[in-house]
Amino acid sequence: MQTNYFNSMLELKPIQHFDLFDLPKAKILIIYTGGTLGMDYDENGSLQPCGFDQILRRAPVAKELQINLSVISFETPIDSSKVELGHWQNMAEVIHEHYDQFDGFLILHGTDTMAYSASALSFMLEGLNKPVIFTGAQLPIASPRSDARENLVTSLEIASDKKDGKPIITEVCIFFNNVLLRGNRSKKVESERFDAFESENFPVLAKAGIAIEYQWSYLRPFTDQVLKLNTAMDPSIAVLKLFPGLSETTVEHIIQAPLVKGIILESYGAGNVPHESWFLDLLKSGVDSGKLILNISQCNGGRVLHGKYQTSGALNRIGVLSGADLTTEAATTKMMYALGQFNSPSDRKICLTTSIRGEMN
């Protein structure tokens, strides 16, 4: 087992408790990282991050859910474009530390890197059997047309829902715009509409309308596993996205970069790549030098099928791994996880090509 590459002991505020009920339906811990949802106007009329008590004032219906809430916040709220491995480790450690005290966890997070964070936490939290729901907003909660209130309230309801005394959701998810998605199957696809996230390669887990309609056949069943925290991740990776006109010099620079241990190859369609000998030779040289190369599709939907077309048939022969239907977000975080958790090349390859958290078919 390798060591962590980042110091994850970030500044956190003391936990705030909003114990509104003597016999609550559930106890939920909210981890407030920042993002658009938690923005309110200051005395000068400018938007700035606000405290959770202000968020509750903007969404008073949350107090009607028969839930006792506790909130732990980053000392300095961050824009999600600034998220780093240390933040992922910190969120996972908070959940692990308080796991037995709460029925579920809600992470308020900016939308830009939410799918990366949800994917990363899904790998870090092995044996999870409680809900960890990410949500955020496209408009600040202070905006009259904000989607923040609905996303917040419904996420809390889902995080607290049980069947036969057991949590209905037992994995890391994203709730946004009335749909619940598996976290490591999600990606952000819109910057100007409320339906910001999609999961093209895996069905929606729940839809929120008049009632919350769970898609039971796609939910992970409750288990009695003990939560295990695996925060070691190695970010020594690169993403090589193919495009017409990509030069040999650029590919060579990425493949031969001395500090890069793993490469996510974003290929065309079902895994197709240029058939020029220089391109395949460079990939082979990378594999032969011990680098992991994982092939995923640039398409939002579909999967890599090595050998379906002639241009992808050579990849298996030179040792490039198929990423099947992994998203870029899941592929990058899983590569970091594989490099951080395992020393053996064979163990790393097994990890990358096997579904360990429902992230691939």
Catalogue the active-site residues: 36
Sign, Cα dihedral of 332, 333, 334, 340: positive
**Both tokens assigned to 172:** 């890391």
Instruction: Classify residue 167 as left (phi > 0), alpha (psi -120 to 50) or beta.
Output: beta
Spatial CA neighbour of 266 closest among 315, 327, 199, 316: 327
Give residues with Cβ within 8 angstroms of 316, minimum separation 6: 306, 307, 322
**Both tokens assigned to 61:** 């219906």
Reduced 3-state DSSP string for the chain: CCCCCCCCCCCECCCEEECCCCCCCEEEEEEECCCHHHEEECCCCCEEECCHHHHHHHCHHHHHCCEEEEEEEECCCCCHHHCCHHHHHHHHHHHHHCHHHCCEEEEECCCCCHHHHHHHHHHHEECCCCCEEEECCCCCCCCCCCCHHHHHHHHHHHHHCEECCEECCCCEEEEECCEEEEHHHCEECCCCCCCCEECCCCCCCEEECCCEEECHHHCCCCCCCCCEECCCCCCCEEEEECCCCCCHHHHHHHHCCCCCCEEEEEEECCCECCCCHHHHHHHHHHHHCCCEEEEEECCCCCCCCCCCCHHHHHHHHHCCEECCCCCHHHHHHHHHHHHHHCCCHHHHHHHHHCCCCCCCC
